[in-house]
């Protein structure tokens, strides 16, 4: 979608440019609020978390921020002390140019790991940017944070008098764990830090943390929300619903744009003992390369879903005799298929979005997760990404 002015929250400015990080597409995005914002962020749990993650985590400790810097095509990860010095310098330049306090600036960076920023180019490119900020263009911002993404990812809602917009990027190295790929949310709603934090973390957990493209957790995962309060207070529940809807939209956009993906896979596991179990089983299915390739080929090899459930070896309360497996409305296990049903199953598996539904029949909990199929395209893209 393209964001219309009527859904653009007030009081934000942007500057988007190419600094020559890798190629000639936009690779630098600055989003600045006119006033300091209530803010929250969740980040990758990777042991190799990037220096941008470390700095942003520190700068968000007081739940306040005014500017977000995003550099794409270079993750600035695993570069040691010089990587941290480079990131701090970028923040200092932006602070000087814009008048924002450096500890109110957060930074995110994704792309190749283990290569230093072209710091001379960055210094030159950032000269005078304080004067180049214009009324926020979130469409361009969504495009500027892309790496191997093929489409920008943006969603927005009205909440009372306020607006809420979210942008995200991510196509590979995606198995967020208590965090996410890059996603940024901006609102002019007035909301307290505690409420924002509680709503934001609960929604990230049920949306971005339920998404997986390839089981590889990024070193740079970052999700941040800024609320500048200029539109005044809104209903908390309406705000939560709008945020959840935006997050869901972005998750589906990311799954659909997964590297090489031709189909979205949505897996729901219900009647589980608890949410953790439901999500674990659902993730085992959506992450199985054999399930993913079967969906890609529309091959009615449903037994691979049974295999994937079987991998959850610690979940001893699960009994195969109680389980029901469906693709859309076609029951495949217990197995009642004949050649006609197999053809129907092939049809269902040929759709843009393939829904797999598992009932464990041992409890009340339910979880839904999202992913994508595995095609030759994923291999092709990732066999030659850095070169």
Binding site residues for substrate, as ranges? 147, 169, 180, 259, 382, 387
Q: Is 180 a catalytic residue?
A: yes
Contact residues for 374 (Cβ-Cβ < 8 A; gap 6+): 214, 260, 289, 292, 293, 296
Asked if 335 and 236 count as a contact pair (C-beta separation under 8 A), the reply is no
How distant, in Å, are the alpha carbons of 86, 145, 169, 175, 296 from that of 73?
15, 9, 12, 19, 28
Radius of gyration from C-alpha coordinates of the chain: 22
Using the minimum distance from each CB to a copy of itself, give the nearer residue, 112 or 365.
112
Q: Among 110, 180, 219, 222, which one carries the catalytic annotation?
A: 180
Contact residues for 366 (Cβ-Cβ < 8 A; gap 6+): 268, 269, 270, 271, 272, 275, 278
Asked if 220 and 50 count as a contact pair (C-beta separation under 8 A), the reply is yes
Using the minimum distance from each CB to a copy of itself, give the nearer residue, 12 or 378.
378
Using the minimum distance from each CB to a copy of itself, give the nearer residue, 47 or 120.
47
Q: Which two tokens stand for residue 173?
A: 């190295």
Q: Is 321 exposed, middle or buried (0-12, 13-18, 19+ CB in 10 A)?
A: exposed
Give the separation between CA 102 and CA 91, rounded to whole angstroms: 6
Specify the 3-state DSSP secondary structure of 339.
helix
Smallest gap from residue 277 Cβ to a copy of itself (A):
12
Contacts to a copy of itself by CB under 8 A: 44-49, 75, 77-80, 112-115, 172-173, 175, 177, 214-219, 287-290, 293-294, 296-297, 299-304, 306-313, 315-316, 318-320, 332-335, 337, 374-376, 378-380, 382-387
Smallest gap from residue 236 Cβ to a copy of itself (A):
32
Using the minimum distance from each CB to a copy of itself, give the nearer residue, 47 or 61.
47
Give the separation between CA 58 and CA 65, rounded to whole angstroms: 11
Closest CA to 99 of 125, 131, 75: 131
How distant, in Å, are the alpha carbons of 5, 28, 109, 170, 266 from that of 152?
17, 15, 16, 10, 21
Using the minimum distance from each CB to a copy of itself, give the nearer residue, 66 or 74.
74
- What is the CA angle 111-208-1, rounded to 5? 80
Contact residues for 222 (Cβ-Cβ < 8 A; gap 6+): 41, 42, 43, 44, 52, 53, 56, 108, 179, 180, 181, 182, 183
Q: Which residues are catalytic?
A: 180
């Amino acid at each position: 979608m393209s964001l219309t002015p009527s859904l653009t929250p007030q009081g934000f400015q942007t500057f988007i440019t190419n600094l020559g990080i890798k190629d000639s597409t936009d690779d630098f995005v600055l989003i600045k609020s006119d006033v300091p914002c209530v803010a929250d962020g969740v980040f990758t749990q990777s042991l190799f978390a990037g220096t941008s993650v470390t700095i942003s985590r520190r700068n968000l400790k007081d739940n306040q921020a005014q500017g977000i810097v995003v550099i794409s095509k270079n993750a600035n990860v695993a570069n040691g002390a010089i990587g941290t010095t480079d990131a701090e310098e970028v923040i200092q330049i932006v602070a000087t140019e814009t008048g924002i306090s450096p500890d109110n600036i957060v930074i995110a960076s994704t792309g190749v790991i283990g290569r230093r920023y072209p710091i001379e180019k960055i210094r030159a490119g950032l000269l005078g940017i304080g004067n180049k900020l214009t009324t926020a263009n979130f469409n361009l911002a969504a495009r500027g944070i892309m790496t191997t993404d093929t489409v920008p990812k943006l969603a927005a809602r009205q909440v009372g008098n306020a607006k809420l917009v979210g942008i995200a990027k991510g196509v590979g190295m995606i198995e967020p764990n208590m965090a996410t790929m890059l996603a940024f949310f901006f609102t002019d709603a007035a909301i307290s830090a505690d409420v924002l934090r509680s709503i934001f973390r609960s929604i990230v957990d049920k949306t971005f943390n339920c998404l997986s493209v390839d089981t590889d957790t990024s070193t740079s995962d970052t999700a941040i929300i800024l609320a500048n309060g200029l539109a005044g207070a809104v209903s908390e529940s309406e705000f939560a619903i709008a945020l959840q809807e935006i997050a869901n939209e972005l998750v589906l956009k990311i799954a659909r744009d997964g590297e090489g993906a031709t189909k979205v896979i949505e897996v729901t596991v219900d009647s589980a003992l608890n949410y953790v179990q439901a999500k674990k089983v659902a993730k085992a299915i959506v992450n199985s390369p054999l399930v993913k390739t079967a969906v890609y080929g529309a091959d009615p090899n449903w037994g691979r879903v049974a295999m994937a459930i079987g991998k959850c070896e610690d979940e001893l309360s699960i009994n195969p005799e109680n389980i029901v497996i469906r693709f859309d409305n076609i029951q495949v296990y217990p197995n009642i298929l004949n050649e006609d049903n197999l053809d129907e199953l092939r049809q269902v598996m040929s759709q843009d979005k393939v829904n797999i539904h598992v009932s464990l029949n041992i409890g009340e909990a339910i979880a839904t997760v999202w992913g994508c199929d595995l095609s030759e395209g994923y291999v092709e893209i990732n066999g030659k990404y850095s070169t």
